[in-house]
Amino acid sequence: MDLNADSGESFGSWTMGNDASMFRIVSSANVACGFHAGDPVTMLDSCRAAFELDVRVGAHVGYRDLHGFGRRAMDMSFDELFGDVLYQLGALDGMAHAVGASVDYVKPHGALYNRIVHDVEQAEAVVAAIHAYDPGLPVLGLPGSALLRIAEESGHPVFREAFVDRGYMPDGTLVPRSQDGALVHDAAAVVERAVRFAVRGEVLAVDGTVVRVKPDSLCIHGDTPGAVELAAAVRAGLEEAGVEIESFA
């Protein structure tokens, strides 16, 4: 099972998360590409650290929304979104190559991630940009999303992820952050959910419904309080349950 976390989200003198510690726990790092978070130095440092610790680098592409951290949905034309995603891929890949690493997959961020679960036009723009950059680049996303369906139809390897610290709706989508139950804070509950995802392929939705999810990767957010300790507990819980941690990329 792959374990991924968002990273490279610091900007200038402002710091978010503890990437140095998180990279020692996860097998894949979703590195911000400078649009929703991150800057050139942070991107470079993130790629270097990931390479040195044998962590796969993913392009965490998002809306051009530094002020809102990419968590505000945006109406964009096909060409606008195509260009923005292509720009981010090229930027991060350049940084990665400079330190001997590479971009091994793509995972959209925040509001873009959520929107292209259902928004076919925006999903097509994102996939078209990925395909134009590298027709064989893997895509990581939510099971049943328009993104993964279109990416698979376009010939890309697709991988499905689950969120160990996010609430789920009965239809398998994430509880919006504006609603109660969006985040799971209890460490024991998060570990239990991670093991249940990996071993049984399921999770309890906020209404108690059992939702079937068979993920290739488990995501734990790196910007929440105690994220490193929580990630370490998740990894330990998975390994205790006999789950080997290995990147899908």
> How do residues 102-156 score in pLDDT, each as one tens digit?
999 999 999 999 999 999 999 999 999 999 999 999 999 999 999 999 999 999 9
In angstroms, what CA-CA distances link 79 with 85, 132, 150?
A: 10, 13, 17
Q: What is the pLDDT of residue 201?
A: 97
Contact 84, 64 (CB under 8 A): yes
When pLDDT is cut at 50, 70 and 90, the band that residue 221 belongs to is confident
The vertex-76 CA angle with 156 and 93, nearest 5°, equals: 45
pTM exceeding 0.85:
yes
Tell which residue, 87, 96, 86, has the closest CA to residue 127.
86
> How do residues 56-76 score in pLDDT, each as one tens digit?
999 999 999 999 999 999 999
Cα(59)–Cα(31) distance, rounded to whole angstroms? Answer: 6
When pLDDT is cut at 50, 70 and 90, the band that residue 185 belongs to is confident
In this structure, the strands spanning 217-219 and 158-163 are parallel
Cα(43)–Cα(9) distance, rounded to whole angstroms? Answer: 9
